[in-house]
Each structure stands twice: as structure tokens, then as C-alpha cells.
Amino acid sequence: MTKKSVSIIDYGLGNLFSVKQACISVGLDPIITSNSIEILKSDMVILPGVGAFGFAMENLRKTNLDKTLKTFAQSGKPFIGICLGMQLMLSESVEFGIHKGLNIIPGKTKKFKNEIDEKSTYYPVPQIQWNTLKKSDSIPQNNIFDFIKTGDYMYFVHSFYCLPEDDDTVIATTKYAGVEYPSIIQSNNCIGIQFHPEKSGLKGIEIYKKLKLLK
């Protein structure tokens, strides 16, 4: 059986090698690349990322990867954005100014506020911790995330969260600093994951296994 080829996008930001190792561990065939030809012929794209939205988009535009990724997203093949990669899929961010994103999934990002709740719990920004998922009631049957249960823990590192325009894209949410925000979104072949599945134990690796089922 031929392994699915995966292009992990190299644009100068992100934990590329841990994503690659997670792909290898579940039987995918990944490469780390910034080559448009390789990207467009691959079966799947993963856009990881850790860092500033504006700097990331600048790097993507310098190499015309923004256009390549938009073209790939329109191909119908699986496009996965992880952490900053999920945010880059949206229309814009307000991180250190207003920056236009890839606009693959309409929406924007917003920053967490440092909060102290009624129990005097302090919520530092960025969120760097394990946190739970709340599964959406409207998740489609046979969706690759249907194995997720409310209360499952995943590992998060981020200061901004996503607000897609279409609530029906939300597969799961997470609560932090008084905000319940989307932690998994999906619009057709395009999926955004705010946490790091490759750092989230067996449940996170299960997501990589499920990616093999996408067509």
C-alpha cells in the first residue's frame, strides 16, 4: 500500500521535525519543504508554526508560498494547520497590528487577556499548558475527530485564539482565561488545530493516524 505523501511547510517558523516524526510514526511519508512543485503534487499539506503572525505571513509571501498554499487548499486535498498554522489559515490577525492571513477559512484572531477569575485564579498569556477539549454537538458523523471525547487533554502554547465566521466549522472548543474558543475547526478539506497533537500523547498521535483516512 502506497504511503500518503505529506508536505510539511518550511517557512522559517515551527516545530517541523517533531511534526515529521509524528507523521513517520503513523505510516505517512513526510518531507519538510518550501518547494511549490513538491507541495502541489503531495497528497496532504501540514502548515505548522510557532511565533508571530505578521512575520510568518511575510515569510510566506517572500517565497510565494502564500499563493501555493491557497492553490493547494482549493485542490480538495487535505490541508492541516497546526497552532500558528491554524491562525494563518484565517483572514486576519491583530497580533502587533492588523495583518492579512491566507483567508482559506474566513475569520480572525484575538488575544487572550491576563485574567483573574472569581476564585483568584490567574491566567498568564501565553497559555502554555495541557487543557481539555469540549466536543461540538454538531460534529458530522464519520468525521476523523469523532473519536475525541469531551474532557480529553491536549497540549497548548499560544497567546491568540481563532474566531471563524462560520460556527459550523467548529469541531471542538477549549476554555482559557474566561474565553471558550475553537481548538479544532474544519471547512471542507481544510482543518485547523490550535494545540500541538505531536506533543499531546496518545490522543494527539491518534489524530495523525486519522489523517491517513482523509482523501
CA 199 from chain center: how many Å? 13
CB environment 121-150: b (16+ within 10 A), e (fewer): eebeeebeeeeebbbbeebeeeebbeebee
**Helix 65-73 × helix 53-62 angle, to 10°:** 90
Residue 157: other Cβ atoms inside 10 A: 16
> So which residues are the catalytic ones?
83, 196, 198
Residue 14 and residue 49 in contact, taking contact as beta carbons nearer than 8 Å: yes
Residue 207: other Cβ atoms inside 10 A: 24
First vs last C-alpha separation in the chain: 15
